[in-house]
Structure 1
Amino acid sequence: MGRRLPVELGRITQDNVEQLRKINLACFPVQYQETYYKDVVTHDEGLCKFAYWDGFVVGAACARIEPLPDDSENQKQNHENASSSNSNNNGSGNKKQKNTESGTKKRIYIMTLGVLAAFRDREIGTQLIQSIFDHYEANKDSGEYKDVVEIVLHVQISNAAAIKFYTTRFGFEQGKMVENYYRRIDPPHCYKLFKKLT
């Protein structure tokens, strides 16, 4: 592993969302629909961040708050907005979630984490994910964050590096396998990774 490369984190906005498209195209063989990019800029700015090094965008993490679904609903909704995926894509596409009343249990869902190949193994992904945890900690007693009970993502079963990253660095647990989660890739199955917050 290379030396830690300190980066500056910045919000994703309507003015710079095209940079997110470039990161996604470079990191994942997946074509996200326009609704993905339109929705990302409406999510809490603390959950969707760019990583900047020397003024250049070198990575991005995108997450959202959504109602805590039952397993069948969760499996049905995920990845409907992407045409394909691979082991580097932790995302669920961008199936828009319905708003729920206060008091309904919610989760933070990590849609994507991508770092340009030349900047990997420099702890940039760690800094991006840590920023999501820090944002939750700073807001957990207010607004919709009061109802958040876990942080979740899905990882292709063959992506041992990503599974190790989340379980060893952030204490995620590996849940059950979800069959046929991805489209047009092999293997198509994934694991749910989760960390309880309450």
Structure 2
Amino acid sequence: MTRSRIELGDVTPHNIKQLKKLNTVVFPVSYNEKFYKDVLEVGELAKLAYYNDIVVGAVCCRVDTSENSRRLYIMTLGCLFPYRRLGVGTTMLEHVLNHVEKDGNYDNIYLHVQVNNTSAIDFYKKFGFEIHETKKHYYKRIEPADAHVLQKNLRPAITNGIASPGEKNHHDKHSEKIIDKNNVDKHHNDKHA
């Protein structure tokens, strides 16, 4: 398999129907007209994935500027079942990660995943996402209704040199991690002594 078979293309008013059809097939939840109207406005943050010129997947994100931080929210990232495990999802997620890295102005990337969707959870973990929290009854009409919030931190949440509420010790934790890495053996021995 060569990766050159997979290409990403813009979502436009001409192909938005393909995105709607794809989302209907791939996801157990339905998206309203506002979702599709917004998708047309986000540029590089919404892409259709083509495999040998056939639309097989799509990724749609939005910028979320709540809680004194700038975050990227992955609203949808999905691929038709027969085309899974061919690198389509990886290509889409790498596009999003590269976009965020080039921009350099995001605190984190996050998304919701149904708690029983282990393949999606494993997929995102490979890219450095971690389960941040679990929201009960997140989904309205599907079971299980609970969702994990998966998050990949890009930088400590510090605003104007002051840690934002709820993130007070984030910077300190980061420093501790670095110290821990340097003293892994010492800590390991202490625990078992």
**Counterparts of residues 57-96 of structure 1 (less than 5 Å):** 57-69=55-67
**Residue identity in the other structure for 2:107:** V
Paired residue for 2:52? 54
Does the aligned pair in 2 maintain the 1:174–1:193 contact within 8 Å? yes
Q: CA deviation at 1:186?
A: 1.8
Does the aligned pair in 1 maintain the 2:71–2:110 contact within 8 Å? yes
Does the aligned pair in 2 maintain the 1:4–1:122 contact within 8 Å? no
SS at match of 1:177: strand
**Counterparts of residues 1-198 of structure 1 (less than 5 Å):** 3=1, 5=3, 6-43=5-42, 45-69=43-67, 104-140=68-104, 146=105, 148-168=106-126, 170-198=127-155
Does the aligned pair in 1 maintain the 2:8–2:48 contact within 8 Å? yes
Q: CA deviation at 1:4?
A: 6.0
SS at match of 1:192: strand
**Residue identity in the other structure for 2:59:** A
Q: CA deviation at 1:195?
A: 0.6
Q: Which has a greater percent of helix?
A: 2
**Residue identity in the other structure for 2:24:** L
Q: CA deviation at 1:54?
A: 2.1
Pick 1 or 2: higher relative contact order, CA cutoff 8 A, min separation 6: 1
**1:93-133 deviation line (CA, Å, top 9, x unaligned):** xxxxxxxxxxx521000000111111011110011010001
CA-atom RMSD, angstroms? 1.4
Rg larger in structure = 2
Paired residue for 1:143? none
Does the aligned pair in 2 maintain the 1:20–1:60 contact within 8 Å? yes
SS at match of 1:50: strand
Does the aligned pair in 1 maintain the 2:112–2:147 contact within 8 Å? yes
TM-score, normalised by the number of residues in structure 1: 0.73
**Residue identity in the other structure for 1:138:** K
- Seen in structure 2, the aligned counterparts of structure 1 residues 29 and 154 have a Cα distance that, compared at 3 Å, is closer
Percent identity of paired positions between Structure 1 and Structure 2: 41
CA distance, structure 2, for counterparts of residue 106 and residue 171 of structure 1: 19
Gaps of 5+ in 2: 156-193
CA distance, structure 2, for counterparts of residue 162 and residue 4 of structure 1: 23
How many residue pairs get matched?
154
Q: CA deviation at 1:149?
A: 0.3
CA distance, structure 1, for counterparts of residue 144 and residue 29 of structure 2: 16
CA distance, structure 1, for counterparts of residue 51 and residue 45 of structure 2: 19
CA distance, structure 1, for counterparts of residue 65 and residue 140 of structure 2: 24
TM-score, normalised by the number of residues in structure 2: 0.75
